[in-house]
């Protein structure tokens, strides 16, 4: 018998380390060659790593969620024959088991997260009574089993002298109401039953039955997997790229009418159109005039690579986080092809079926919050690209056109640019050219029609 040491392979694209997101085997398992042993997360995609030999797993390099550099031992097998590990070389440390939670490290139970239902705060109220029964004039503690007092849920206020009757005071205690907060309508602010009833109608009863509690629990969540990659990429983009954003409102009334007509006349094989394929074609139409916006900038070599091909990344929210599948060669697609490829790529991303090649190589990115929309955004550039276009909410708004107020379908476009290579004037010109096409959508589909700014 021998020992075979399998190192984390080079997964391409200049990747120097990867996160072991999931183990498919454990120490002691017998595996066959090409059997999946681990899922490895790169900054592009999840890659399935398979066993290179038949054997028995004797050691795993780390626990799931940890990061290993390329070339470090990943897994060790006992195999028939000599193997490849030198004699006497120590085996990789097994993945540590999760230690049992101690009293000091255990996370708070759900009762603590809800604010500690077993904790009760004793409160007192002060006041004098000019009627009878001096027992009601002394400070009284709130019963431990009663509802939380209102004064435990509001900012501390200076107590005032409360003038009222014992019956009103008793009722206030039963309802958990601090009488110092109740406005009195009688002489010198005396509180009667009508005042208390009005206060209860306005807010006291709602608060007394709401059963709110102060919360004290907390939870620590390790940032791993796709969320860790997103965090690192966003931090690097904001740290190294001097962003500036340009926002413009677009009248999409005609474009919406065109989209409606096309959807009504489409065939069964053609996908239903959203705004995004139309915006993609319009953007592809104007980008040749702004090559620095369809480009990638290498910060280390300070080289800008301008691309003739237009590969649009489409920021897509998935259950695990943000992915950017790529629709390639948008400049060569017609409207229905663009819509179909868009639907295919985003569906694959949401269902975690994207290949690594589908998530790399974009030259410009579009991001949209869909129905959530918003008035404006300041999107973060998908490095090493130089431009990202954000689509905001489409809504009907009153607009002044030729001196008249009309209801139009309006949407704001938000674009962010890398100011190292895209000047403010050029970024603004790109969005203005895109605006003209979107507001006159027939021009998108006429090849001989001059692009805005051309003569």
131 prior amide bond cis, ω within 30: no
Which of 133, 72, 431 is CA-nearest to residue 286? Answer: 431
With contact defined as beta carbons under 8 Å apart, do 178 and 157 qualify? no
H-helix or E-strand spanning residue 16: none
The question of whether 120 is a catalytic residue gets the answer no
Helix, strand or coil for residue 197? helix
CA 161 to CA 233: how far, in whole Å? Answer: 60
The residues near 124 (Cβ < 8 Å, ≥ 6 apart) are: 139, 140, 141
With contact defined as beta carbons under 8 Å apart, do 404 and 368 qualify? no
H-helix or E-strand spanning residue 427: helix 424-439
Burial class from Cβ neighbours inside 10 Å (0-12, 13-18, 19+) for residue 75 reads buried
The question of whether 118 is a catalytic residue gets the answer no
CA 72 to CA 92: how far, in whole Å? Answer: 10
CA 183 to CA 6: how far, in whole Å? Answer: 77
Residue of 10, 34, 109, 423 marked active site: 423
CA 162 to CA 166: how far, in whole Å? Answer: 11
Helix, strand or coil for residue 414? strand
Residue 18: CB atoms within 10 A of its CB come to: 25
CA 283 to CA 312: how far, in whole Å? Answer: 10
Residue of 159, 243, 307, 419 marked active site: 419
Q: Report, as residue numbers or ranges, the catalytic residues.
A: 419, 423
């Amino acid at each position: 018998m021998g020992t075979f040491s399998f190192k984390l392979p080079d997964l391409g694209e200049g990747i120097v380390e990867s996160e072991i997101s999931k183990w498919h085997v454990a120490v002691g398992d017998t595996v066959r060659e090409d059997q999946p042993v681990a899922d490895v997360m790169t900054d592009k995609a999840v890659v399935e790593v398979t066993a290179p030999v038949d054997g028995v797993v004797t050691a795993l390099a780390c626990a799931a969620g940890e990061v290993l550099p390329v070339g470090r031992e990943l897994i060790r097998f006992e195999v028939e024959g000599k193997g490849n590990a030198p004699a006497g070389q120590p085996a990789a440390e097994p993945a540590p088991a999760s230690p049992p939670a101690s009293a000091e490290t255990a996370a708070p139970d759900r009762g603590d997260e809800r604010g500690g239902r077993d904790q009760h705060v004793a409160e007192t109220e002060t006041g004098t009574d000019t009627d009878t029964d001096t027992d009601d004039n002394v400070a009284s503690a709130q019963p431990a089993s009663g509802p939380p007092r209102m004064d435990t849920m509001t900012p501390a206020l200076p107590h005032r002298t409360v003038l009222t009757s014992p019956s009103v005071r008793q009722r206030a205690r039963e309802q958990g109401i601090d009488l110092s907060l109740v406005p009195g309508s009688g002489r010198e602010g005396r509180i009667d039953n009508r005042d208390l009833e009005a206060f209860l109608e306005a807010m006291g009863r709602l608060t007394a039955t709401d059963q709110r509690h102060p919360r004290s629990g907390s939870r620590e969540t390790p940032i791993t997997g796709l969320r860790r990659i997103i965090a690192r990429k966003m931090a690097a983009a904001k740290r190294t790229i001097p962003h500036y954003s340009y926002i413009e409102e677009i009248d999409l009334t005609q474009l919406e009418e065109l989209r409606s007509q096309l959807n009504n006349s489409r065939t069964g094989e053609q996908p239903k159109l959203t705004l995004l394929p139309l915006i993609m074609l319009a953007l592809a139409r104007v980008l040749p005039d702004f090559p620095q916006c369809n480009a990638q900038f290498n910060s280390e070599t300070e080289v800008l690579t301008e691309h003739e091909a237009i590969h649009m990344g489409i920021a897509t929210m998935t259950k695990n986080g943000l992915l950017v599948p790529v629709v390639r060669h948008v400049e060569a697609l017609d409207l229905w092809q663009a819509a179909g490829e868009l639907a295919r790529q985003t569906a694959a991303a949401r269902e975690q079926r994207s290949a690594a090649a589908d998530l790399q190589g974009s030259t410009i990115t579009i991001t949209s919050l869909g129905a959530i929309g918003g008035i404006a955004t300041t999107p973060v550039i998908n490095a090493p690209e130089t431009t990202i276009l954000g689509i905001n909410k489409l809504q009907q708004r009153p607009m002044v056109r030729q001196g008249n107020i009309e209801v139009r379908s309006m949407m704001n476009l938000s674009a962010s640019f890398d100011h190292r290579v895209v000047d403010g004037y050029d970024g603004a010109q790109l969005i203005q050219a895109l605006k003209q096409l979107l507001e006159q959508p027939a021009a998108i589909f006429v090849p001989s029609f001059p692009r805005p700014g051309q003569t």
